Chain A
Amino acid sequence: MATIRFTSHLVRHRPAPMIEAMGPTLAEVLAAAFADDPLLRGYVLDEQGRLRKHVNIYLDGELIADRLRLSDPVAAGAEIYVLQALSGG
């Protein structure tokens, strides 16, 4: 079971409690996590299922590699953090 946590910034817009979900890849874990609130999905992914440009996901401490298909493998007990990206100048 992987654990997914969201930032307080996202929670300001949409309730996003800590979620536990299972799946072999990040895409599947997130799909399970968003099953109860499809609108939450739209804050993290666009309608094509790609990670939003200004959102980052850390999987066990590492930035994920595949932002398009979210194919990064997820180990049992993985810790996933969904963060807004800090960019701009």
Chain B
Amino acid sequence: MATLWVGTRKGLFRYDQGAADQSHTDQGRTWAQVGKPAFLAAPVTFVLDDPRDGALFVALSHGHFGCKLHRSEDRGASWVELPAPAFPLSDAPDAPALELIWSIVPGGADQPGVLWAGTIPGGCSGQTTAAQAGRSAPGCGTGQSAPAGWAAAMITPAFTRFWLIRETAPM
């Protein structure tokens, strides 16, 4: 059964293709919304259905409270907030801060647990733990505290537009 995740300015909606039609010849008429929307009324700027393990990632842009990143390991039944990407701490009054996550893609075959994200402002990143220091990308900083197994990476401004998040422990 196929599932379609729809991110909107008013939340995340799930559509499943009905079991009644397996031939895919009804022009989508058997797609039906399933369950209640998640993040109701919050602008969803990106949804990733990670093909590696079925985890879902949602980027939000709250009008007042900034950009957030959430992850679900149970196909949207429950969500855990992850630390959002963060630019390096600076004393400059105009130091960059995350404004938007506009894309998230899985890392390559040699990057298990890595996500790459397009952000505004642009930045390049690295992951955080000593155990992975030998594999970290160049120019990487240290991260914030995170839910078990995850760590946010800091962003090096003006390098590329990508940021990543990597699993720090087996899930």
Contacts and interface: CB of A to CB of B under 8 A. Distances in A.
A42 interface: yes
Interface string A5-22: 000011001100000000
Interface of A: 9-10, 13-14, 38-39, 42-44, 46-50, 52, 54-55, 68, 84-85
Given A14-B81, A38-B144, A38-B145, A48 B65 contact: no
A32 B144 CA distance: 16
30 contacts: A13-B42, A13-B62, A13-B65, A14-B65, A14-B81, A39-B81, A39-B83, A42-B65, A42-B66, A42-B68, A42-B83, A43-B62, A43-B66, A44-B65, A46-B66, A46-B97, A47-B84, A47-B86, A47-B87, A47-B97, A47-B98, A48-B87, A48-B97, A49-B89, A50-B97, A52-B64, A55-B64, A55-B65, A68-B93, A84-B64
Contacts of B145: 38
